[in-house]
Structures are given as structure tokens and as C-alpha cells.
Amino acid sequence: MPHAFNSQEIEDLLAKNNGQYLVFENDQPKFVVLDPVRYPHFVNFDKNRPNVLVTGGAGYIGSHVVLELLAANLNPIIIDNLSNCAVPNLGCPFIVGDLEKTEVLDKVFEQYNIQAVVHLAGSIIVEESVLLPEKYFHNNVVAGINLLNTMLRHGVNKLIYSSSAAVYGSPRYVPIDENHATEPLNPYGETKLIFEKIVNWYVKAHDLNAVMFRYFNAAGADPHGRAGEKHFIETHLIPRVFQVANKELDSVKIFGHDYPTADGTAIRDYVHVADIAKAHALAIAKLEEDTGSFTYNIGTGKGYSVQEIVDKVVEVTERMVPIEQHERRAGDPPILVADSKKAQKELGLELKHSDLDTIIRTAWNWHKQAFAKPAVPVEEKAEETAST
Ligand SMILES: NC(=O)c1ccc[n+]([C@@H]2O[C@H](COP(=O)([O-])OP(=O)(O)OC[C@H]3O[C@@H](n4cnc5c(N)ncnc54)[C@H](O)[C@@H]3O)[C@@H](O)[C@H]2O)c1
């Protein structure tokens, strides 16, 4: 039976949850609303500021984008189906909803005068996409089209889309610039590329303008400790190395010790999530001035090997990190490094936090408090990947 809350219970809930009001249906949380009109004291919401819908805003990169938009005097409004994250507590309106539900999207666009959309929501695990391509094509493409069509219906014409370096496939040269061939090696990368193409066709046909970011490896955490990486199934290298340092896992698997790199392990380009978040605020500003579609790599141009990451984690955490050596995985290139001069030049993006020391220190500060009490060892459901 759904629980009907009386007004005192709602007030208590709101007070306990920083103004978040959960509506339950069949005992499942259905809608969480920070209502800025009724509860202005709880919420960073100023009706004179532009509203920006952030899909997937409760997730890892999304939560940092939300913090950056607040700092840029915008009103972020999160929609997330909580499939890969917990209820956020970032002090902005939050709607539990799925992008495939047109009626929920319509309600959100009706309630809030949305000026731009940052679209981060999606399924993100490369290995899973190989096993369940239908899930990825549905969530990353079909649900995305539903979002685009809703934007058009409501006259919202600015989109920032989270694409991925996975659109490139095996590098023909490094650093990889935006003109590099796009030949994804897995369904995940294919869905990101297909959705980019769909957006480009919508931009040509309709009143829509877009910035599409191809992130390399997002890493690090909010320098003030307000957000960080906490996926239900963790596949990214740095948090998995922390899981070992924190004794949540016994050892970290390293795939490939015979790559043509200095220490034989694969090299990836790690870019701090706060710098990625900043790029989104800059992109919204760009779409105030320019029309059309723009694609940018977000990376540092400098790579670190898996072994260098492990060594840095050992240095920062002062803990042991046992490693297991494994064969190379099919489709894992030796080096993936971005040329992101275009974003630096056209958006004025500066990478202020993306040195390895800051990445690992901010991420560890977050991880220590977010995983303070690992109750049970994390089941080995997925293996670390070098890149999404
Ligand atoms: N993390 C990286 O290194 C990286 C690299 C390249 C690209 N990206 C892209 O950036 C975006 C964000 O990545 P992330 O690492 O923050 O992942 P994440 O899983 O933490 O965030 C995605 C969020 O979207 C939500 N979501 C998924 N499907 C949804 C749906 N249908 N409706 C509403 N919400 C939905 C999830 O609950 C989650 O909170 C993704 O689109 C991903 O493909 C990430």
C-alpha cells in the first residue's frame, strides 16, 4: 500500500532530507521534489535565473555539473531515474523520472521554464553494452530521442550532450582530435555516436543548437568534498584501485603488461570532473551567442599508465594495493590521449584541476568518507576499464 503522509510527516521528511519530498507508489520512491516555490529556504532557486534541466544530474559527472551551474548563477533542475546513483543532496530541485516517460518530461518542462538541457543520463558500462546491446540502444538512443522531441515541443533550443571518447575506437594517431575517424568498438560507443548524429540532423532540421562533449576518462571529485564517484557497479580504474586500498576488494586486475609503453601498461587521459563540469557552464554561455552544432574533446593531452595510477594511489593513500596481472583485453588500445585544443580555444576552457595529484587526492578524500564503512566486500561484478 502506498503510504499517505500527513502534512507534519512531510514537514519532518523535508527537514530531515534538506527539503526533499519523496512520493511513494507501491512502497517505491516515485517522485522526489524539492519544490522551490513552497520551500525556497531549502533550495538554491532564484526565479530570476535561467533554469537548466540536467538529465542524469544525480550521477557522477552530473552532480559536479549541477554544482558548477549553481556557481554560475543558473538554476539546475535534476531529472534522474536513480538507476546508477543514490538520491542527491545538492540543494536544487530534483525529480525522480525516466527519460523514456514522456508524461514526466512534459510535466517538468511545463512546471519549469527550461532554457537549456544538459543531457548526461545514460547507461555507461562498456562490458554490459556488449552483452545487452538492446538496453544501450534503448536507454542511450530511444530515451534520448524522447528528450529531444520534448525539447522541440516546448521550444527549448539549447542542448549540451555528454558523448564519449569511445566514439573513436582504436586510435589511428594520438593525440586524438575531433576530426579523427569514428569507429566505435562496442555498442556503448556506437550509441554515443548514433545520438551525436541524431542531434546533428535535428540541428539541421529544427531550431536546435548543441554542444557535444567527447569526454576522455572523467576522474577526481569535487575539491570541496560535496560530490564524487559512487556507482552501484564500479568499472572505472581509480575508484576500483581505491576499493583495494580501502580493503573493499582484495586486488586490482591490470590487463596487459606488454604494451609498447614505458611500463608496459595501457595509457589513458584522465581529466578532472570539476574541469569537465566547468566546460558545461562555458558551453551554455556559448549557445547564448552562437547557433549550430559544436563537438569538443575534453581531455588533457597527457596520459598516465595504469601502473602510474596504482603507484599514485599508493603514495596518496599510504596503503597497499595488491595487483593481479592479466592478459590484454581485446579492443583495448595501448594509448588513448585527447587533443582538446579546440575546447580550450573556442570555449576558453582551462584545466585547473586535472593534474594527477589533484585528481587522486580529491577522489580519495571523497572515497574515504563515502565508503567509510564498507559493510560487505563488493561483489566482483565488473572489471575495471581504462576508458568509457
Ligand atoms: N565517466 C566517464 O569517464 C565518462 C566518459 C565519457 C562519457 N561519459 C558520459 O557521461 C555521462 C555521465 O556519466 P557518469 O560517469 O556520470 O555516469 P553515471 O551513471 O554516474 O550518471 C548517469 C546518470 O543517469 C541516470 N540515468 C540513466 N538512465 C536514465 C534514464 N533513462 N532516465 C533518467 N536518468 C537516467 C543514472 O541513474 C545516473 O545517475 C554518460 O552519458 C556517459 O556516457 C562518461
Where do the DSSP E strands lie in the chain? Answer: 21-25, 28-33, 51-55, 75-80, 94-96, 114-119, 158-164, 209-215, 217-219, 252-255, 267-268, 270-272, 293-298, 304-305, 323-326, 335-336
Q: Is 122 in the pocket of ligand 1 (CB under 6 A)?
A: yes
What is the rounded distance in angstroms from the CA atom of residue 311 to the CA atom of residue 304? Answer: 11
Highest mean pLDDT among 6-10, 31-35, 180-184: 180-184
pLDDT-derived band at 306 (thresholds 50, 70, 90) equals: very high
Expressed in angstroms and rounded, the spacing between residue 122 Cα and the centre of ligand 1 is 5
Q: What percentage of the chain has pLDDT greater than the value 90?
A: 71
More confident residue, 292 or 42: 292
pLDDT for 9: 60
Atom of ligand 1 nearest to the CA of 192: 43
Please tell me the pTM assigned to this model: 0.90
And the C-alpha cell for 330? 581485446
What is the rounded distance in angstroms from the CA atom of residue 269 to the CA atom of residue 136? Answer: 24
What is the rounded average pLDDT of the residues 241-248?
Answer: 94
Closest Cα to atom 2 of ligand 1:
218
Alpha-carbon separation of residue 384 from 120, 197, 244 (angstroms): 21, 29, 12
Highest mean pLDDT among 10-24, 241-255, 371-385: 241-255
- Per-residue pLDDT for 19 more than 70? no
Q: Is 220 in the pocket of ligand 1 (CB under 6 A)?
A: no
Over the stretch 35-88, which tens digit does the pLDDT of each residue have? Answer: 555 555 555 667 788 999 999 999 999 999 999 999 999 999 999 988 888 777
Q: Taking a C-beta distance cutoff of 8 angstroms, is the pair 109, 152 a contact?
A: no
Check residue 165 and report its DSSP letter.
Answer: G
Residue type at position 206 = H
> Helix, strand, coil: what percent of the chain each, to 5?
35, 20, 45
First to last CA, the chain: 41
Q: Is 231 in the pocket of ligand 1 (CB under 6 A)?
A: yes
And the C-alpha cell for 348? 576558453
Residue 377's Cβ-side half-sphere holds a number of Cα atoms within 13 Å equal to 9
Q: Which residues are catalytic?
A: 188
And the C-alpha cell for 266? 595501457
What is the rounded distance in angstroms from the CA atom of residue 386 to the CA atom of residue 388? Answer: 7
What is the rounded distance in angstroms from the CA atom of residue 16 to the CA atom of residue 171? Answer: 50
Strand pairing of 217-219 and 114-119?
A: unpaired
Check residue 97 and report its DSSP letter.
Answer: -
Mutation test residue for ligand 1: of 63, 103, 120, the one with most atoms within 8 Å of CB:
120
> What's the angle, vertex CA 276, arms to CA 274 and CA 282, rounded to 5?
105
- Per-residue pLDDT for 352 more than 50? yes
Q: Positive or negative CA dihedral for 351, 355, 361, 364?
A: positive
Q: Supply the Cα-derived Rg of the chain in whole angstroms.
A: 21
Alpha-carbon separation of residue 102 from 74, 98, 107, 147 (angstroms): 25, 9, 9, 8
What is the rounded average pLDDT of the residues 134-155?
Answer: 98
Strand-by-strand arrangement of the 304-305 sheet: 304-305, 267-268, 335-336
By CB neighbour count within 10 A (0-12 exposed, 13-18 middle, 19+ buried), where does 313 fall? buried
CATH class of residue range 44-370: alpha beta
Residue 162's Cβ-side half-sphere holds a number of Cα atoms within 13 Å equal to 27
Residue type at position 377 = P
Q: Taking a C-beta distance cutoff of 8 angstroms, is the pair 220, 303 a contact?
A: no
pLDDT-derived band at 379 (thresholds 50, 70, 90) equals: very low
- Per-residue pLDDT for 316 more than 90? yes
Q: What is the mean pLDDT of the chain?
A: 88
Q: Is 218 in the pocket of ligand 1 (CB under 6 A)?
A: yes
- Domains of the chain, by residue range, sit at 44-370
Q: Is 21 in the pocket of ligand 1 (CB under 6 A)?
A: no
